[in-house]
Amino acid sequence: MAKAQKQIIAEALLDWYDRSHRELPWRVGPDDLAKGKQPDAYRVWLSEVMLQQTQVETVKPYFTKFLKLWPDVSSLAAASQDDVMKAWAGLGYYSRARNLKKCAEIVATKLGGRFPNTSKELMDLPGIGDYTAAAISAIAFNHVVPVIDGNVERVVSRLAAIATPLPKAKSEIKQIVAGSLSKDRPGDFAQAMMDLGATVCTPRNPACIVCPLREHCKVIRTGDPEHYPFKAPKRDKPLRRGAAFVAVRNDGAIYLRKRKEQGLLGGMTEVPTTNWTARIDGETGVSAAPFSASWVNIGSIRHVFTHFELELSVFRAETNDPVDELDGWWSSPSDLPEEALPTVMKKAIETAKSGATKRNKPARRQLA
């Protein structure tokens, strides 16, 4: 791609962005930039961490909630880990929340409350990888660095008709973006590429007719855009099995406990489950129940994690027996929405509630 063509592409893309950019709660748009408003590194960082492997529409309410609770990095650093995990519950990929808290503490206590502005320095902070560092550096500080996410990979793969499968094509894509990006508006260029991929150059049914880059797109002339980018075949995800135990007190409270800080869903809240992991199955029967009660098998749920799928047999028991000797607590119906419950645990609770009217024969586990 010739240098002059790259410059034309950048100009066409930015002109489209000025007219058609998305309004996002963490974004400072072109009009506000023209009036002198500057991006807030805290907001850019928070949004980019939340957006890792998560859709924009899912992130919006979480971002708004976090800003209301912790409007700056110092207030987030001072928050308790449990409160941060509760606010994050349902957003998934929970190591992001733990690293978010660690990063905030470092920025607040060791860096005077200011984020570093270069990709290299940003990558020294917990939870910030190559993409996130580049995005913060470009968007918050207007540094001339290529920012490559899945949307950008798709746009560039189609624009240049790159037949090399991902992830091998990443270096070629990065080289093209680095040679094309605007030196004057690198932050806007990065966001324009993302917006184009999210709203026009979509994975299915791309709106090529309204694309500002259609005159420069090789795929439009030579093939079907939906075939790009090429990707290596995905491996089938293994299926793991286990059991979840939903104990309900007569006032509607649910028995909960906290997972270990390390590992999958670390530090999150759960109904008692068996010892399943991404690599091994857990027990699936009533014999693994956390305490003696009239446990009824309500059914099962499935939940997809990044590297595996999980099937949990869901058991329910109604009990008022004291379980003070166990490391858990009863959460009332009014408190339950505020608990740090990941989606898989919410599914188990909802299944136990919806199946409460089923009259299965109880299987009682007696403790020795």
Q: Please state, in angstroms and rounded to a whole number, the distance separating the CA atoms of residues 349 and 340.
A: 13
CB proximity list for 183: less than 8 A, separation 6 or greater: 144
Other residues' Cβ atoms within 10 Å of the Cβ of residue 35 = 8
Q: Please state, in angstroms and rounded to a whole number, the distance separating the CA atoms of residues 206 and 220.
A: 11
DSSP of 316-334? EEE-----TTSS-EEE-TT
- In eight-state DSSP terms, residue 223 is S
Q: What is the CA radius of gyration of the chain?
A: 24
CB proximity list for 246: less than 8 A, separation 6 or greater: 254, 255, 271, 298, 314, 315, 316, 317, 348, 349, 352
Active site residues: 48
Query: Which residues face 294 on adjacent strands?
Result: 364
Q: Which helix (H) or strand (E) holds 105?
A: helix 95-110
Contact 259, 267 (CB under 8 A): yes
Token couple for 7: 């410059």
* The one-letter amino acid at 340: A
3-state secondary structure 252-307: CCEEEEECCCCCCCCCCEECCECCCCCCCCCCCCHHHCCCCCEEEEEEEEEEECCC
- In eight-state DSSP terms, residue 222 is H
